[in-house]
Amino acid sequence: MENTGEVKNSKAKQLWLQIVKYKVAFFNTVYGKILTIICQIFVGGLFIFSGFIKLNDPVGFSFKLTDYFAEDVLNMEFLSPYALWMAVFLVILEVILGVMILLSLLKKPVLWSLLGLIVFFTFLTFYSAYFNKVTDCGCFGDFWKLTPWESFWKDIILLVAILILFMGIKNIKPILPQKANIAITTVSLLVCIFFGRHVLNHLPVFDFRAYKIGTNIMDGMTIPPDAPRPVFEYVWIFDVNGEDLEITTQDANYPEVEGGTYKSVTSKIIEEGYEPPIHDFSIESLDGEDVMEMMMEEEKLIMVIIYSLDKVEEEGLLKVKSFTDKAIDAGYKVIGLSSSDPQDLKDLSAVMEFNFDFYLTDETALKTTLRSNPGVMKVEKGTITDKKHYNDFDTIKL
């Protein structure tokens, strides 16, 4: 038995040495060098692009991380308070690692860092896809929406490209002098820090969401007559002579089964239909009355967005009071939009002496409209004409 084991180990060792030999030989060829350079540009460029898109909206990326930390997903809610700073760190790290691999700077540590990041992201996207927990990974923010499985396969391609870089590491050579590479990396880091600080204290520079300035909210909720409709599949269960009979239909019409007794029905979407860009925005009074259309008819409307009182910035509330008083004096109708408890909103209004009423809107919708808590959106006949972080209320023209 020992001799047989030794023979097997010897054959495995020879096979491994043969693979290593072919790998070394291939990456010493022109084709191997070209493949390495292509992967270097692909990995570096994609990490920079993906990181910058998320750096433009780190608050949005932090919302995605919070979704992953939820109890019914990874059950790591203790990390939720740190989601924003984790988001900022991760996106800056993405950009800098992308810059460094393009410059061939510290290639071994950089490659190991890239591998660690992509393994982490691949785990998250696979978890999302397989368990259908977080339906949008936020890999490219709101610029480019990917399904969970698309995100997973994108990460697999990146993982393969990074492994190729490991195998062809000798072909990763700097073009510029070492000092120039360090200078470029340092400048890139400083630009990322200052850019991240700017968008956190104001709003994203590039708005890829459905509520960008110039958008008409009602138009964004409209479904065109020729838009594709969702296709459903219905599975009906009937009891026929003591046995279950399963019938599948493409509509909700009750099927006729002779001598059968209905037991249950389940449905699922087998083909997604058209979803309007704005599909979850509504305005209800604290008593539950739908006032959406009425508000969209207002010619001069100011919406104060406070998606959650638990996470509101107190400094911003003071600025809300000052700004809304000026807006009311200028002839604007001012309303507050929040998802918080109605009684808490009434108590806040009393304490802050707000001269406007609060209405209820879905929290996710409010987070999407504006990355500031509180923030302000100016609307004219349903069209968004301005939106500002609480640090920029004084720049809104009334």
Residues 384 and 343 in one domain: yes
The stretches of 70-177 forming alpha helices (DSSP H) are 83-103, 107-131, 148-167
What's residue 31's pLDDT?
80
Residue 249, in any domain of the structure: yes
Q: Using one digit for the tens of pLDDT, what is the confidence trace for 232-290?
A: 888 888 888 878 888 888 877 777 777 777 888 888 777 777 888 888 899 999 988 99
Is residue 257 within 8 Å of residue 247, measured between CB atoms? yes
Q: Using one digit for the tens of pLDDT, what is the confidence trace for 300-333?
A: 999 999 998 988 988 899 999 999 999 999 999 9
What's residue 326's pLDDT?
94
Residue 222, in any domain of the structure: no
Q: What is the DSSP letter of 104?
A: T
Cα–Cα distances in angstroms (integers) from residue 291 to residues 140, 284, 383, in the given order: 34, 6, 16
Residues 119 and 12 in one domain: yes
Residue 117, in any domain of the structure: yes
Cα–Cα distances in angstroms (integers) from residue 362 to residues 39, 66, 214, 366, in the given order: 43, 17, 22, 6
Residues 248 and 118 in one domain: no
Residues 144 and 75 in one domain: yes
Cα–Cα distances in angstroms (integers) from residue 138 to residues 210, 221, 363, 391, in the given order: 15, 22, 18, 26
Low-confidence ranges of the chain (pLDDT < 70): 1-24, 134-141, 143
Residues 266 and 286 in one domain: no
Among 156, 184, 201, which residue terminates a domain? 201
Residue 221, in any domain of the structure: no
CATH of the domain at 335: 3.40.30.10
Residues 131 and 21 in one domain: yes
Among 201, 221, 244, which residue terminates a domain? 201
Residue 356, in any domain of the structure: yes
Residues 283 and 261 in one domain: no
Q: Give the separation between CA 6 and CA 21, rounded to whole angstroms.
A: 22
Residues 297 and 189 in one domain: no
Counting every residue, how long is the chain? Answer: 398
Residue 209, in any domain of the structure: no
Total domains present in the chain: 3
Among 159, 180, 201, which residue terminates a domain? 201
Give CA torsion, residues 197, 200, 204, 210, to 10 deg.
160
What's residue 395's pLDDT?
93
What's the mean pLDDT when you consider all of the chain? 87
Residue 223, in any domain of the structure: no
Residues 306 and 243 in one domain: no
Residues 124 and 246 in one domain: no
Residues 17 and 133 in one domain: yes
Q: Using one digit for the tens of pLDDT, what is the confidence trace for 376-389?
A: 999 999 999 999 99
Range of the domain at 246: 231-271
Residues 236 and 135 in one domain: no
Given its phi and psi angles, is residue 353 left (phi above 0), alpha (psi -120 to 50 degrees) or beta?
left
Residue 211, in any domain of the structure: no
What's residue 377's pLDDT?
96
State percent of the chain over pLDDT 70.
91
Is residue 51 within 8 Å of residue 158, measured between CB atoms? no
